[in-house]
Structure 1
Amino acid sequence: MESTRFVLINTSHAGNVGSAARAMKVMGFGDLVLVAPRFADVLCHEEAVAMASGAADILARASVVPTLAEALDGVDFACATAMTPRDFGPPTHEPRALFAGLAAREAAPRLALVFGSERYGMANEDVYRCHAVLSIPTNPDYGSLNLAQAVQLLAYDLRQALGGFGVQARTPDPELADARAVQGLLDHLQAALTDIGYLDPAAPKKLMPRLNQLFNRAGLTNEEVHILRGIARQMSKTANPASPS
């Protein structure tokens, strides 16, 4: 199922093809097949490449075939995507539950997800070629999805059924400044505040202890200490332009 094929039938908008390729790549899939697209050169169309946004390699490897039968060559289990229930045809499933069941099989099938035209969806005869119909749970009063949106939703559910990618580890927190570094900042800042006339050394009151408490609560990093000391240095330089830097 890692090599699931995404099949787009009779696509009419090049941008949707590019966006679909992007949606696939984000979820780690790369097998794209177009069935009789409106424009034969859609895979290299400027809008398709632009909307792929870094997934142009998916477009470069994609295939264009004239029929759905050819697109499903080598596939064990094909899933149609259709909003309108058919009176006759394969059973309808909620995607997440079906994917979980397929992934749990001892021998998972080679899967294909089949999407219809933006203008009229999937024809009945194409639906009948599939083993199941996937119905994305949407607002019952408005269930219209853009083609690429549908590809993204199903690709996400499938990836989750396969175990997902997990949350990317965040960048480690920068190293906090130690007490010595903070004290050095306070001494430097005290001198700078005196230089600009904000602090009276004869009557400092509790300004510096309060700044000390402020810095302790903030949990300054070494980089932040360097920045604040740079500001203090510039304050003293501005107040005493004749002094050596």
Structure 2
Amino acid sequence: MESTRFILINTSHAGNVGATARAMKVMGFGDLVLVAPRFPDVLCHEEAVAMASGAADILARARVVPTLAEALDGVDYACATAMTPRDFGPPTHEPRALFAELAARASAPRLALVFGSERYGMANEDVYRCHAVLSIPTHPDYGSLNLAQAVQLLAYDLRQAVGGFAVQARTPDPERADARAVQGLLEHLQAALTDIGYLDPAAPKKLMPRLNQLFNRAALTNEEVHILRGIARQISKTVDAAGSR
């Protein structure tokens, strides 16, 4: 299913072709076939290249063919995307459930996802060539999706069915402060709180142990310890300066 083919029939907007290429690439798919698009040179159209936004290689490898039959050559299982209910044709499935079922097979089929034109969707004759119809769950009062949006949703669901991608961390995990650093902070705070009269050394009660528990729950980083010690240092400096006036 990694080699799933995305087929666009009679596409009329070059931007949708480019956006489809981008949607495919971010989910790790690369086989794009256009069936009789409105513009024969759509793959190199300025708007298509602009909307591909880094997925120009998908456009460069894409093919344009005159018929759906040619686009489906080599495909084992074709899925139509059609909103309009039909009294005859392949069964309708929710995409995520069907993709999971296909991925679980001992030998996953070579899959094709077929999308109709922006204005008319898929013709009945094209739907009849497919093994299943996919219906993206949408609000019942308005289910009209942009072509590239539909491609993105199905590409995501398919990628999740075959294992998905791990989320890449954008920032390194902060270095946690060890027990020694926390104890140093507590000693520093104890002195500062004593300086401002908030803590009575003769009757400290459980203030410092409670702060200790608070810092343990917070899982302070070394940088946060430095910040809090800086605050404590400034408190003590301010008290000393006031007392020397």
- Report the TM range for the smaller structure's normalisation: 0.7 to 0.9
CA positional deviation for 1:12: 0.5
* CA distance 1:61–1:228, change in 2 (3 Å): farther
| Cα deviation digits, residues 59-80 of structure 1 (max 9, x gap) | 1111111110000000000000
**Structure 2 CA distance, aligned partners of 1:54 and 1:244?**
65
* CA distance 1:101–1:196, change in 2 (3 Å): closer
* CA distance 1:131–1:177, change in 2 (3 Å): closer
Judge which range, 178-187 or 89-98, deviates more: 178-187
* CA distance 1:140–1:217, change in 2 (3 Å): closer
CA positional deviation for 1:189: 15
| Cα deviation digits, residues 178-232 of structure 1 (max 9, x gap) | 7999999999999999999999999999999999999999988667899999999
CA positional deviation for 1:169: 3.9
Q: Give the TM-score taking structure 1 as reference length.
A: 0.75
Contact 1:237 1:243 in 2 (8 A): no
**Structure 2 CA distance, aligned partners of 1:51 and 1:240?**
64
**Structure 2 CA distance, aligned partners of 1:219 and 1:43?**
53
**Structure 1 CA distance, aligned partners of 2:88 and 2:205?**
86
Judge which range, 180-189 or 233-242, deviates more: 233-242
* CA distance 1:89–1:218, change in 2 (3 Å): closer
- The answer for unaligned runs of 5 or more in structure 2 is none
TM-align CA RMSD: 4.2
Contact 1:19 1:148 in 2 (8 A): yes
CA positional deviation for 1:118: 0.2
**Structure 2 CA distance, aligned partners of 1:30 and 1:243?**
73
* CA distance 1:136–1:212, change in 2 (3 Å): closer
* CA distance 1:105–1:193, change in 2 (3 Å): closer
* CA distance 1:74–1:204, change in 2 (3 Å): same
SS of the residue 1:3 aligns to: coil
**Structure 2 CA distance, aligned partners of 1:205 and 1:98?**
63
CA positional deviation for 1:171: 3.3
**Structure 1 CA distance, aligned partners of 2:50 and 2:244?**
56
* CA distance 1:64–1:234, change in 2 (3 Å): farther
Q: Give the TM-score taking structure 2 as reference length.
A: 0.75
| Cα deviation digits, residues 15-74 of structure 1 (max 9, x gap) | 111111111111111100000110111111111111111111111111111110000000
Judge which range, 101-110 or 165-174, deviates more: 165-174
* CA distance 1:183–1:145, change in 2 (3 Å): same
Judge which range, 183-192 or 24-33, deviates more: 183-192
Per the alignment, residue 56 of structure 1 pairs with: 56
Judge which range, 36-45 or 176-185, deviates more: 176-185
Paired-residue identity, %:
91
CA positional deviation for 1:85: 1.4
* CA distance 1:239–1:34, change in 2 (3 Å): farther
* CA distance 1:76–1:222, change in 2 (3 Å): same
* CA distance 1:185–1:163, change in 2 (3 Å): closer
Per the alignment, residue 83 of structure 2 pairs with: 83
| Cα deviation digits, residues 91-117 of structure 1 (max 9, x gap) | 111111111111111111000000000
SS of the residue 1:240 aligns to: helix
CA positional deviation for 1:236: 17
Aligned length: 245
* CA distance 1:200–1:112, change in 2 (3 Å): same
**Structure 2 CA distance, aligned partners of 1:31 and 1:211?**
59
SS of the residue 1:17 aligns to: helix
**Structure 1 CA distance, aligned partners of 2:234 and 2:10?**
66
